[in-house]
């Protein structure tokens, strides 16, 4: 499952970044940053952190992995709100790209949530607390 999520997030990162960069003129017109096109490449780091978690405390590991998704989700939400207030069809393509970036963050957070639930459940069963 880790590899499938990693590949999915890698593809989403590339496609949303390319589309945001292709529509940079619209973002500039509405005074929005293009930083999201760079930050989406942090998405695949989340599954890598969980896969290579040698010696890192569990809570710190999940907080570091969540930090790969939460800032991008906030930036995407804010940009989408600004562009939706524009009231023009020219922002539709960049809105789709931002929605794709949001989807990547949501997939990453769902992956972290599922991993945390499974890990906590497995530890409780192994220690007899169920």
Nearest C-alpha neighbor of 21 from the set 91, 107, 97, 122: 97
- Specify the DSSP class assigned to residue 40: G
Angle at 49 between CA 46 and CA 52, to 5 degrees: 150
Q: Is it the case that residue 72 has pLDDT exceeding 90?
A: yes
Q: What percent of the chain has pLDDT over 90?
A: 68
Q: What is the pLDDT of residues 83-115, one digit of tens each?
A: 999 888 889 999 999 999 999 999 999 999 998
* pLDDT for the residue 129: 62
Query: What are 21-61's pLDDT values in tens digits?
Result: 999 999 999 999 999 999 999 999 999 988 887 778 888 99
Contacts of residue 74, defined as CB under 8 A and 6 or more positions apart, other chains included, come to none
């Amino acid at each position: 499952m880790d590899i499938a999520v990693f590949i999915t997030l890698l593809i989403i990162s590339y496609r949303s970044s390319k589309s945001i960069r292709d529509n940079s003129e619209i973002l500039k017109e509405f005074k929005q940053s293009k930083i999201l096109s760079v930050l989406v490449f942090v998405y695949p780091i989340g599954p890598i952190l969980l896969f290579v978690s040698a010696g890192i405390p569990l809570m710190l590991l999940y907080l570091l992995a969540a930090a790969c998704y939460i800032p991008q989700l906030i930036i995407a939400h804010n940009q989408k709100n600004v562009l939706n207030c524009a009231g023009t069809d020219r922002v539709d393509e960049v809105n789709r790209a931002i929605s794709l970036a949001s989807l990547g963050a949501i997939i990453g957070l769902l992956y972290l949530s599922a991993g945390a639930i499974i890990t906590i459940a497995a530890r409780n069963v192994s220690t007899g607390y169920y």
